[in-house]
Amino acid sequence: MISDGDTSVGLTTFYRTVRELAHAGRIDVIREQDGSRLYRHRPAAGHGQCLVCRCCLRSWPVDSEVVEVWADAAGEAAGLPVSNTPSN
């Protein structure tokens, strides 16, 4: 249970809301190597990509088109389907 004063929210409600925000494009989900997920507010509307430093977790926006072209080519070379839709 998460509470702030008189308001309480269950963890199920919290994570369902986080998942809905991710699907709506309001937050980004960053998957760690250990399987955990980090969530970060997406300040601008629209689809975007960013590089994330694994040490300090700072992020830098990058040109989405360049990243998506590379991901498509890498996936095709590996025989894997590539989707630009987040899988949360």
**Residue 57 falls inside a structural domain:** yes
**Residue 6 falls inside a structural domain:** yes
Query: What integer pLDDT is reported at residue 16 of this predicted model?
Result: 93
Where is pLDDT greater, at 49 or 72? 72
pLDDT in tens, 8-39: 888 899 889 999 998 888 888 887 778 888 88
Where is pLDDT greater, at 88 or 79? 79
Local confidence band at 88 (pLDDT 50, 70, 90 cut-offs):
very low
Chain-centroid distance of CA 57 in Å reads 13
Domain hosting 17: range is 2-78
Task: Look up the pTM and report it.
Answer: 0.50
Counting the structural domains of the chain, the total is 1
CATH of the domain at 30: 1.10.10
Rounded CA separation 49/66 (Å): 10
**Residue 88 falls inside a structural domain:** no
**Residue 85 falls inside a structural domain:** no
**Residue 86 falls inside a structural domain:** no
15: closest CA among 46, 45, 44, 36?
36
**Residue 64 falls inside a structural domain:** yes
**Residue 84 falls inside a structural domain:** no
Query: What integer pLDDT is reported at residue 17 of this predicted model?
Result: 92
